[in-house]
């Protein structure tokens, strides 16, 4: 009698923003499986440190910087687990290991859900459209939506969904959020079609109302520093500011795409969290700071000390003006 092989344990590790949620939704529609979910707020990047995986396990990592997770990734591989890694952030040198399959593309104009869409040959592309809207890639999202035959009304619904999912991921910790990302994913996972989620789930309207209120409060704040090429804003110390920071930065970028925008919100533990948008070079600028990183057009700093604010504003203006 042949010995039964142990069943593979699936561990899904993903960013809690629209891109991470929609990337995982595509993969699990293509490959249904019960999995352990490891996620958190958008800036909770070093998630692989929480994963206890070994031989026989398959770890899927989505929308998390490989460079920020390098040590934990190598440890997981050394313990015999297999790892699939999809991401579009700065990665440094990708390790060469038989247990690692890495799909990394840091070029501008892409996101992790688009890499998954390419991997799946467009089988669940509607979720990639949602993610691209959420990741402030509106032109790409509309082009993908056109390929699916969506009209303006449908594209607008997908845009709002992507932006609301992305808005929900911003906060210092999960107590700042309207709903924990893992709980939000479990709601999304009930639906193959995002339009059905929009129609059926109350959380969609709840996120929309809270997002409008938070964004209106941010839009009332005057810039701390402003010139023709760079603008910096410091928001009040409130959970609404930490929720709105990314949405506000995306809105500013949409209104003035040729200008660099830095938005700062005070942290409860002191200092500031920073969201930065720029035509290019956002990631390189933010990596100059100990907790900074991101991608070419959108990056951030997790913890900027309060006493460094003035120096940060000077360096920001010099880099982008």
Given this chain, do its domains 9-207 and 221-320 carry the same CATH topology? Answer: no
24-61 confidence digits (pLDDT tens): 999 999 999 999 999 999 999 899 999 999 999 999 99
**pLDDT at res. 227:** 87
Q: Which residue has the higher pLDDT, 2 or 92?
A: 92
Would you state the pLDDT for residue 6?
A: 60
In the chain, the percentage of residues whose pLDDT exceeds 70 is 98
pLDDT of residue 295: 87
Ramachandran assignment for 224, one of left (phi > 0), alpha (psi -120 to 50 degrees), beta (any other): alpha
For residue 7, what pLDDT is reported? 78
Domain residue spans of the chain:
9-207, 221-320
DSSP string, 86-122: EE-S---SPP--TTEEEEE---TT--HHHHHHHHTTT
- Per-residue pLDDT at 228: 83
DSSP assigned state of 205:
H
Q: What would the mean pLDDT of 290-300 be, rounded to a whole number?
A: 91
Domain at 221-320: CATH architecture: Roll (3.10)
pLDDT of residue 2: 53
> What is the distance between the alpha carbons of residues 253 and 70, in angstroms, rounded to a whole number?
31
Tokens standing for residue 146: 């056109």
With contact defined as beta carbons under 8 Å apart, do 36 and 12 qualify? yes
Give the number of residues written for the chain.
321
pLDDT band per the 50, 70, 90 thresholds, residue 1 = very low
CA nearest to 111, candidates 92, 84, 83, 139: 139
The predicted-structure confidence for 58-113, as pLDDT tens digits, reads as follows 999 999 999 999 999 999 999 999 999 999 999 999 999 999 999 999 988 999 99
What pLDDT band is residue 126 in, cutting at 50, 70 and 90? very high
Distance CA 9, CA 29 (A): 17
pTM for the model stands at: 0.90
Cα torsion 318, 283, 238, 198 to 10°: value is 140
pLDDT of residue 4: 52
pLDDT tens, residue by residue, 131-180: 999 999 999 999 999 999 999 999 999 999 999 999 999 999 999 999 99
* Per-residue pLDDT reduced to its tens digit, 245-275: 999 999 999 999 999 999 999 999 999 999 9
pLDDT digits (tens, 9 = 90+) for 198-233: 999 999 999 999 999 999 999 999 999 998 899 999
Average pLDDT along the chain: 95
- Strand ranges (E), the chain: 9-14, 35-38, 57-62, 82-87, 100-104, 225-226, 230-234, 260-266, 272-277, 292-294, 298-304
Lookup: tokens for 116 = 């998954």
Architecture of the domain whose range is 9-207: Alpha-Beta Complex (3.90)
């Amino acid at each position: 009698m042949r010995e039964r092989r142990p069943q593979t344990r699936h561990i899904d590790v993903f960013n809690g923003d629209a891109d991470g949620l929609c990337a995982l939704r595509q993969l699990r529609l293509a490959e249904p499986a019960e999995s352990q979910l490891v996620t958190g707020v958008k800036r909770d990047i070093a998630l692989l440190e929480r994963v206890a995986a070994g031989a026989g396990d398959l770890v899927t990592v989505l929308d998390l910087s490989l460079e920020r997770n390098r040590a934990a990734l190598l440890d997981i591989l050394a313990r015999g687990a297999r790892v699939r890694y999809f991401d579009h952030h700065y990665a440094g040198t990708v390790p060469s290991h038989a247990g690692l399959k890495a799909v990394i593309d840091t070029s501008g104009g892409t996101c992790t859900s688009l890499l998954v869409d390419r991997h799946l040959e467009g089988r669940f592309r509607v979720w990639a459209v949602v993610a691209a809207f959420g990741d402030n890639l509106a032109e790409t999202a509309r082009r993908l939506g056109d390929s699916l035959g969506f009209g303006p009304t449908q594209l607008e619904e997908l845009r709002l969904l992507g932006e609301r999912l992305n808005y929900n991921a911003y906060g210092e910790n999960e107590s700042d959020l309207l709903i924990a990302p893992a709980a939000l994913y479990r709601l999304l996972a009930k639906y193959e079609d995002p339009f059905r989620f929009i129609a059926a789930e109350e959380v969609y309207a709840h996120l929309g109302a809270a997002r409008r209120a938070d964004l209106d409060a941010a839009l009332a704040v005057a810039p701390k520093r402003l010139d023709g090429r760079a603008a910096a804003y410091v928001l009040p110390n409130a959970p609404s500011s930490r929720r709105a920071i990314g949405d506000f930065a995306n809105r500013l970028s949409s209104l003035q795409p040729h200008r660099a925008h830095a938005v700062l919100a005070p942290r409860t533990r002191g200092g500031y969290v920073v969201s930065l948008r720029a035509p290019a070079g956002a990631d390189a600028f933010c990596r100059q700071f100990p907790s900074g990183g991101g991608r070419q057009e959108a990056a951030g700093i997790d913890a900027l000390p309060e006493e460094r604010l003035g120096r940060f504003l000077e360096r920001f203006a010099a880099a982008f003006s």
